[in-house]
């Protein structure tokens, strides 16, 4: 069983002035999860009332049907976002909604297709049918960097490449996407203006979630905002879920004395953003007058290779002797590089990432040391291999 104890660190969020004296109620769907718990804390600090609707699925929460890590002031309702009755009841008296409820995992989405489409897209449809009957001021949905597929690249001649694709790789060839002359393209930060390239079922469902929000909210007099999240990390992640964030998966392996498993060559680059910065972005998206109708990237603005991150985490956890296992295999649905351009959310909402990555890793390592984590990574790998999704 995963023991959850989260130490929250307060961080200031600029006031936008429109609700300082008004106490509103915020509904967070999926609010008992990793991001939801941190967001609930941030909202309580801002003076909001917080209600959570969560089905407490076993893959994330274990066998206990109890929401852990939420403050006693949070009103908790156990229910599935696909249950129209549960959604309607949860929406009564609510002023704004943050929609986090979703199945999360690129690899798993490629075979648990009905489950991902049902929860993510049908669940969002049910939520909006409830909102049509009981509209709120604003809905903020959690989207994902996965909707970009491969990020933005630059060719040797300086031209930007939005539609980079990786052809089936032969032994000895580059892992990176190539230009017409067979030369690797260089990854550059990806802005919100890049067209989506949906490379997995998970990406398809997240894009549908954001488009439903941005289409239906204004049609019924509400405001809609979508946040495309990069790789969130921090204390409180589901360490026993082999399809969750990569740092949580690595931490569970290292905690159990096993090497982190990395697909391809480990040089794929990602942006890792602390969960408190993610919570701060959601608060801004809920409050800022310029946010409605917009899509924003949420990351740290820094990128690192997955191999480097595995090494740094092992050091932070006091196990520098554990080197990652680099498989040299590709997993269906994965992309090579995707780096966050956070210029828009900085300019328009005043978002500034505040958590240092090294300090964040140390905090995560200290939290993991107090937990129990069941390492299910090998089981997940066998599942993918049996279905021909790893080669």
pLDDT of residue 329: 84
Let me know: does 238 contact 64? Beta carbons within 8 Å: no
Tokens of 232: 């969130």
What is the widest separation between alpha-carbon atoms in the chain? 63
Q: Is the pLDDT of residue 257 over 50?
A: yes
Q: Is the pLDDT of residue 7 over 90?
A: no
pLDDT of residue 21: 41
In 89-164, beta strands by DSSP E:
96-99, 138-144, 153-154, 160-161
pLDDT of residue 371: 84
Distances (CA, A) of 132 to 125, 137, 353: 10, 12, 35
Cα 391 to Cα 388: distance, rounded to the nearest angstrom? 7
pTM given for the model = 0.90
Q: Is the pLDDT of residue 8 over 50?
A: no
Report the Cα–Cα distance between both ends of the chain, in Å, rounded.
32
- Find, among 34, 88, 86, the residue nearest to 55 by Cα: 86
pLDDT of residue 12: 52
pLDDT of residue 23: 86
Let me know: does 207 contact 199? Beta carbons within 8 Å: no
Confidence of residue 64 (pLDDT cuts 50, 70, 90): low
pLDDT of residue 59: 62
Please compute the mean of the pLDDT values over residues 96-114 and round it to a whole number: 93
Let me know: does 308 contact 247? Beta carbons within 8 Å: no
Please compute the mean of the pLDDT values over residues 166-171 and round it to a whole number: 68
Phi, psi angle pair for 158, to nearest 5°: 95, -10
pLDDT of residue 374: 75
Q: Is the pLDDT of residue 18 over 50?
A: no
One of 48, 116, 153, 202 is an active-site residue; which one? 202
Cα 388 to Cα 104: distance, rounded to the nearest angstrom? 20
Cα 99 to Cα 117: distance, rounded to the nearest angstrom? 16
- Find, among 95, 85, 361, the residue nearest to 246 by Cα: 361
Percent of the chain with pLDDT over 70: 88
Q: For 333-348, what is each residue's pLDDT tens digit? A: 788 999 999 999 999 9
Let me know: does 335 contact 307? Beta carbons within 8 Å: no
Let me know: does 282 contact 273? Beta carbons within 8 Å: no
Confidence of residue 170 (pLDDT cuts 50, 70, 90): low
Cα 326 to Cα 250: distance, rounded to the nearest angstrom? 12
Tokens of 112: 């648990």
Q: Is the pLDDT of residue 41 over 60?
A: yes
Q: For 172-224, what is each residue's pLDDT tens digit? A: 677 899 888 888 899 999 999 999 999 899 999 999 999 999 999 999 999 99
- For 301, other C-beta atoms within 10 Å of its C-beta total 19
Let me know: does 184 contact 174? Beta carbons within 8 Å: yes
Active site annotation includes 153: no
Q: Which three-class secondary structure string do you get for 204-263?
A: HHHHHHHHHHHHHHHHCCCEEEEEEECEEECCCCCCCCCCCCHHHHHHHHHHCCCCCEEC
pLDDT of residue 61: 59
pLDDT of residue 67: 64
Give the residue extent of every domain in the chain.
25-152+189-386, 153-188
Please compute the mean of the pLDDT values over residues 78-106 and round it to a whole number: 96
- The residue assigned the tokens 């997940």 is 380
- For 15, other C-beta atoms within 10 Å of its C-beta total 10
Beta bridge partner(s), residue 99 = 29, 141
The gap from C-alpha 149 to its chain's centroid, in whole angstroms, comes to 15
Confidence of residue 242 (pLDDT cuts 50, 70, 90): low
Length of the chain: 391
pLDDT of residue 13: 57
Tokens of 213: 């929000």
- Find, among 22, 225, 215, the residue nearest to 143 by Cα: 225
* Average pLDDT across the chain, whole number: 88
pLDDT of residue 11: 46
What is the homologous superfamily of the domain 25-152+189-386 according to CATH? NAD(P)-binding Rossmann-like Domain (3.40.50.720)
Please compute the mean of the pLDDT values over residues 250-270 and round it to a whole number: 91
């Amino acid at each position: 069983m995963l023991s959850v104890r989260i130490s929250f660190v307060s961080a200031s969020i600029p006031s936008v002035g429109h609700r300082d004296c008004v106490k509103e109620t915020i509904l967070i769907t999926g609010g008992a999860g990793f991001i939801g718990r941190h967001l609930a804390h941030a909202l309580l600090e801002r003076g909001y009332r917080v209600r959570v609707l969560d089905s407490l699925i076993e893959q994330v929460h274990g066998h206990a049907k109890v929401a852990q890590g939420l403050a006693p002031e949070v009103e908790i309702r156990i229910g599935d976002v696909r249950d129209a009755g549960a959604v309607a009841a949860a929406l009564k008296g609510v002023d704004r909604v943050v929609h986090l409820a979703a199945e999360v995992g690129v690899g798993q989405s490629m075979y648990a297709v009905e489950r991902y489409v049902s929860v993510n897209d049908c669940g969002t449809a049910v939520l909006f049918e409830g909102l049509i009957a009981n509209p709120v001021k604003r809905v903020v949905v959690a989207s994902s960097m996965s909707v970009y597929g491969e990020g933005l690249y630059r060719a040797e001649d300086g031209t930007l490449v939005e539609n980079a694709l990786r052809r089936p790789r032969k032994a000895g060839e580059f892992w990176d996407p190539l230009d017409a002359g067979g030369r690797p393209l260089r990854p550059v930060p990806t802005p919100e203006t890049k067209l989506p390239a949906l490379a997995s079922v998970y990406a398809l469902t997240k894009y549908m979630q954001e488009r439903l929000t941005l289409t239906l909210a204004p049609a019924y007099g509400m405001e809609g905002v979508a946040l495309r999240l990069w790789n969130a990390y921090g204390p409180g992640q589901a360490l026993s879920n082999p399809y969750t964030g990569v740092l949580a998966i690595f931490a569970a392996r290292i905690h159990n004395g096993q090497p982190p498993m990395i697909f391809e060559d480990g040089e794929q680059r990602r942006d890792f953003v602390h969960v408190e910065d993610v919570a701060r972005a959601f608060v801004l998206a809920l409050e800022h007058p310029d946010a409605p109708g917009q899509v924003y990237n949420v990351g740290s603005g820094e990128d690192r290779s997955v191999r480097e991150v595995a090494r740094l985490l092992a050091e932070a956890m006091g196990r520098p002797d554990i080197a990652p296992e680099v498989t040299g295999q590709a997993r269906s649905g994965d992309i090579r590089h995707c780096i966050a351009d956070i210029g828009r959310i900085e300019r328009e909402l005043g978002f500034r990432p505040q958590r240092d990555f090294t300090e964040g890793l140390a905090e995560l390592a200290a939290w993991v040391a107090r937990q129990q984590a069941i390492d299910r990574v090998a089981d997940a790998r066998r599942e993918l291999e049996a279905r021909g999704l790893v080669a």
